[in-house]
Structure 1
Amino acid sequence: MLFSLPDPAYAASCRNIKGRRICEASLNRTAKNYWEYRAIVTIDGARQPRETYNCRDRFRIQADGTVIPFEDGDPSPLVCRLYNKRYKTKR
């Protein structure tokens, strides 16, 4: 019997947000601003295009430059969890 475990590098972080399964496919912090992350997420198994998440000012930027404020049910809590742990600001 062949038994194998998934490679830890491919382990995705997932959360259920508002009834949808959201997983990180790729997450990289930008070199210029520690509060910005470039992320590719999957929502219910469908891969989304890469977006830049500004976790300090709470908006995301799509590939075409469209700026979208964070909303309930979007992937921002999953993407910004590291920023929120280290640099949480009072608002």
Structure 2
Amino acid sequence: MRLIVLGLVWFGLLSVMIVPVSEAAICRMIDNHQICIISLKRSAKYHWEYRAKLSIDGVAQGEWIYNCRDRLRVDSDGKQAKFEPNSFGEYLCRTVNY
């Protein structure tokens, strides 16, 4: 009986101490900048588009849309820009195999 109680207490402590995966940021060094993904969502209608909220060198950015088909980044104002070589957009699209 003591072993079961000890196991339950141990499990309870571990579940409180572990950070859920949804709250953990994924960070990469790209072109001498630390880029962390705060949130990433794939479009249901346009499977080649991803909405990403990023942090660049610790500074939160707005939400951007990455179009992997046309290699474009669209900001919140609707302005489009082609992906730069070795940019986050190139990394994202290469990672998702698009």
TM-score (norm 2): 0.74
Give the 3-state SS of the residue equivalent to 1:51 in structure 2: strand
| Two-structure CA RMSD over aligned residues (Å) | 1.8
Map Cα deviations across residues 26-69 of structure 1 (whole Å, 9 max, x no partner).
10011111110011111111111001100111011111110011
Is 2:86 aligned against 1:60?
no
The answer for unaligned runs of 5 or more in structure 2 is 1-12
State how far apart, in whole Å, the 2-side matches of 1:78 and 1:23 are.
Answer: 12
Q: Which is helix-richer, 1 or 2?
A: 2
Question: Paired residue for 1:72, among 82, 85, 89?
Answer: 85
Task: Detail structure 1 runs of 4+ shifted over 4 Å in the superposition.
Answer: none
Percent identity (aligned): 43
1:5-84 paired onto structure 2 within 5 Å = 5-80=18-93, 81-82=95-96, 84=97
**Which residue identity does 1:51 align to in structure 2?**
W
Bigger RCO of structures 1 and 2 (CA < 8 A, at least 6 apart):
1
The answer for unaligned runs of 5 or more in structure 1 is none
